[in-house]
Structure 1
Amino acid sequence: MAEHGRVPDVVDLARELVRLDSENPPGEEAACARFVHDWFAERGVDTELVEEPIPDRPQVAARVGEGDPTLVLNGHLDVVPADDPAEWTHEPYAAEVEDGRLYGRGAADMKSGLAVGMVAMLELREELADGDLDGSVVFHGAVGEETAVPGTKTLLERGYDGDYGVVLEPTDFRVATSAKGLVCYEVTVEGDPSHASRPDQGRNAVLEARPVVDAIETYDRRLREREDPLVGQAYANVTRFEAGVGGNLGVLPGTAKLVLDRRVLPAEEIADVRDEVDALLDDVREEHGVETRVEEIQRYESAAVDSDCELAETIRDHTAAVTGERPDPWGIEAATDVRNLVNDAGMEAVTWGPGELAQAHTYDESIAVSDVRDGLDVTLRVARDVLDGAE
């Protein structure tokens, strides 16, 4: 195992970041963005608060070095809500360390990844300034990743792009060269409200929605036959259903709304997915007389680079050197902002980072402190390699 002389800095920083509540929704990244910005500024790093795309939810970018090649270290500031604190053994924002693990909302997803990127920037700045390395490193602290806000995309459009990119999400040090996408549709099912004492006078939208749900279940079974060797199967699921909420208990609801969550493989296009959904709803209307409206409410495009691209191989090599295990080719089933680096900026980019993806969004979310340390080691090794410097 490698020596970890800088570990206290990166672990302490991860704890400070976890203590900052940056839940999304509702979108409270501002305090975390200002902390990251000030942390860089106090250390003389060129940094900027970017008040786009949402003015009251700033994000942060930083840069060290000049010229090419440029490596982008990407992370997001937001975390999903902690929900019921009573379900946590460790307080969600106490950032407690126990038995070698850091606990708290965002510990894995992905305040530790942010800390790794921040400390790596400082270390690399000195080596770039001394001429030991060529090129530059860019840091992203993006907003809204958990709800598909185009934070990373905006930072790229503002010029914080590069040749190579690492999205520091928790992957247990596996190198994801592809990422599954998703698109969510809100489907509104039309009924006809009536008093519950006269149910035959109207059409209950809950019952009208039944063939829609059945059709989605059938669609999902067909989709599972589509499979990507790295990210697995395509899926379609109903993730939300709402009808009669807030109304009188004695009224049959006139509308029902459901969310169709469609997981998209790298070989699929979202435009084609929409055609499939439209055809599915047309069939329901023709067979059952059910009228619907559909609206896209969220999307994350899929993305992929060659599984044996130079960056992926470099990260695998250095991961093996630090952890003793060389990861096999892999794709991440969750959607990440790597799509913006690959699809929008044309970069060679992967998703890789410390921590286990299974810890994301859970009660008592945690990360092994040793993973944070190793994450910094590998990131520095990779950056030095990419920037043509001597290790």
Structure 2
Amino acid sequence: MFFLTKAAKIFTEEEKIKILSDIVAIETVDRNEEDVANYLANLLSKYDIPSKVIPTGIPGRANLVAEIGSGAPVIGISGHMDVVSAGNVDAWTSDPYTLTERDGKLYGRGSTDMKSGLAALVIAMIEIKEQGLLKKGTIRLLATYNEENGAVGSIQLEEAGYVKDVDAIIIGEPTANTIHPSHKGSMNFVVSSRGRSVHSSKPRGGINAIEPLMDFALEFKAAFEEATKDIHFGQLDFSPALDIYGAVEGDDEGNAELDQLLKQPKFSITVFRGGDQVNTIPDHAEVVFNIRTVPEFDNEDVKGVFSTVYNKYLDKGADFDVQLTLDLKPLNGGVDSILVELAEKLSKDYLPVEQLVVPMTGGTDGANFVANKGDGFPIIIFGPGTETSHQIDEYVEKDNYLSFIDLYIDLITTYLDGE
């Protein structure tokens, strides 16, 4: 096992924070990832690390790939460059795009999700190269665009072959004292309904767009529940960390119910909108479904249920359109892989709290990266951050961010040396 000495470090603490500050300052809400990619490419070039900013055909949006070493094994390290909206900027204690330190916490949009993880991986890669710690194998950085709104960047990198020879993957999403080798999938269906507007006092000539869509939404929900009611779910086992998800000490019945709920797929109607005014028959309506899938009932199963109900309504004359805006499959990585074992073991030397190995309820680029790898692939979602992702006053603990840099150095090099 390699322990980094303070004198051996290439970057000072201030420089590490400055890198994070610089990329937080680049506002990447569904745009501008190319600016982050260029910043990181320039940083890497200072240490003679070749990189490639890969255009996407969308102005301002790009992926980034960089590599050191050669041959097998190949470990992929990945983070996304986009962030969610800051929301009500006036509600923030400080400017969301100015990394601000208060009481040992670094505040800013993306400080937790997930520019701290991305910066930590890039810095670790440079430290490994500059200190000559890479004895064999290859480290490949995969920085993605559009993770928050469709995960398109990771799909494009996988289809372009950048993970074909990868033997293991670390994704630096914020995990708040957990290590995730697996997670649920996520799907977004947007169904639109068209009708014909007339005055509500004369409805005969109109077609109400809302009514068939309401019926469809409820029937889809009922069909989903029917299709899943007799399935035994358990491949994703959240039981070691139920307290993270709201377990209450002493409430055995409630906690058992929570355990079962977490293991199952989840169907949600998250948006319903239509019409313009109270005295007009609406000529348009839209419903959005978010469905969290699991290995026992995955995205293809959901599509089957959806198609059956959707086609039924088309046959009845409904004027519907559908868009599948997110199709992220469940990630069923290797819980007992060497990578998980090392992450769990080494984290004890760098982090103050024991890290629990459990699935993740959310989705990540990892599902796309392992699309052609099969179950049990060595992958972990593991990075600095807190539970403040997507919230006002998002922050990462400064010590947590800095500790993960050293942890990544040790984890990556130890894994490659042992393979």
Normalising by structure 2, report the TM-score. 0.82
Is 1:260 matched up with 2:289? yes
Q: Which amino acid aligns with 2:368?
A: N
How many residues align structurally?
381
- Superposed CA RMSD in Å reads 2.8
**Aligned-residue offset at 1:83:** 2.4
Hey, what does 2:333 align to over in structure 1? Answer: 305
Q: What is the CA–CA distance in structure 1 between the aligned matches of 2:382 and 2:141, rounded to whole Å?
A: 15
Hey, what does 2:363 align to over in structure 1? Answer: 335
Q: 1:7 aligns with which of 5, 13, 31?
A: 13
Instruction: Note closer, same or farther for the CA distance 1:299–1:113 as it changes in structure 2 (3 Å cut).
Output: same
Q: Which amino acid aligns with 1:114?
A: L
Contact conserved, 1:220 with 1:235, CA < 8 A, in 2? no
Is 1:295 matched up with 2:326? no
Hey, what does 1:384 align to over in structure 2? Answer: 413
Is 1:319 matched up with 2:347? yes
Deviates more, 1:79-88 or 1:317-326: 317-326
Q: 2:147 aligns with which of 141, 145, 148?
A: 145
Q: What is the CA–CA distance in structure 1 between the aligned matches of 2:223 and 2:112, rounded to whole Å?
A: 34
Q: What is the CA–CA distance in structure 2 between the aligned matches of 1:328 and 1:83, rounded to whole Å?
A: 32
Q: Secondary structure at the match of 1:263?
A: strand
**Aligned-residue offset at 1:2:** 8.7
Q: What is the CA–CA distance in structure 2 between the aligned matches of 1:51 and 1:317, rounded to whole Å?
A: 38
Q: What is the CA–CA distance in structure 2 between the aligned matches of 1:150 and 1:49, rounded to whole Å?
A: 16
Contact conserved, 1:173 with 1:319, CA < 8 A, in 2? no
Q: Which amino acid aligns with 2:143?
A: G
Instruction: Note closer, same or farther for the CA distance 1:88–1:218 as it changes in structure 2 (3 Å cut).
Output: farther
Is 1:194 matched up with 2:198? yes
Contact conserved, 1:180 with 1:264, CA < 8 A, in 2? yes
Q: What is the CA–CA distance in structure 1 between the aligned matches of 2:337 and 2:17, rounded to whole Å?
A: 31
Counterparts of residues 42-191 of structure 1 (less than 5 Å): 42-52=46-56, 54=58, 56-127=60-131, 130=132, 133-161=135-163, 162-191=166-195
Q: 1:344 aligns with which of 372, 378, 383?
A: 372
**Aligned-residue offset at 1:220:** 6.5
Q: What is the CA–CA distance in structure 2 between the aligned matches of 1:38 and 1:224, rounded to whole Å?
A: 53
Q: What is the CA–CA distance in structure 1 between the aligned matches of 2:383 and 2:139, rounded to whole Å?
A: 17
Q: What is the CA–CA distance in structure 1 between the aligned matches of 2:167 and 2:66, rounded to whole Å?
A: 16
Contact conserved, 1:232 with 1:333, CA < 8 A, in 2? no
**Aligned-residue offset at 1:209:** 2.7
Q: What is the CA–CA distance in structure 2 between the aligned matches of 1:7 and 1:266, rounded to whole Å?
A: 42
Hey, what does 1:17 align to over in structure 2? Answer: 23
Hey, what does 1:28 align to over in structure 2? Answer: 32
Q: 1:239 aligns with which of 251, 259, 270?
A: 270
Q: Which amino acid aligns with 2:43?
A: W
Q: Which amino acid aligns with 1:322?
A: Y
Structure 1 regions of 5+ residues with no counterpart? none
Q: Secondary structure at the match of 1:81?
A: coil
Q: What is the CA–CA distance in structure 2 between the aligned matches of 1:114 and 1:149, rounded to whole Å?
A: 16
1:222-262 Cα offsets, whole Å, 9 max, x none, are 658864324633111122223235xx775311231111111
Contact conserved, 1:240 with 1:258, CA < 8 A, in 2? yes
Instruction: Note closer, same or farther for the CA distance 1:132–1:21 as it changes in structure 2 (3 Å cut).
Output: closer
Q: Secondary structure at the match of 2:322?
A: strand
Tell me the percent identity: 24
Instruction: Note closer, same or farther for the CA distance 1:300–1:34 as it changes in structure 2 (3 Å cut).
Output: same
1:77-98 Cα offsets, whole Å, 9 max, x none, are 1111112211212211011011
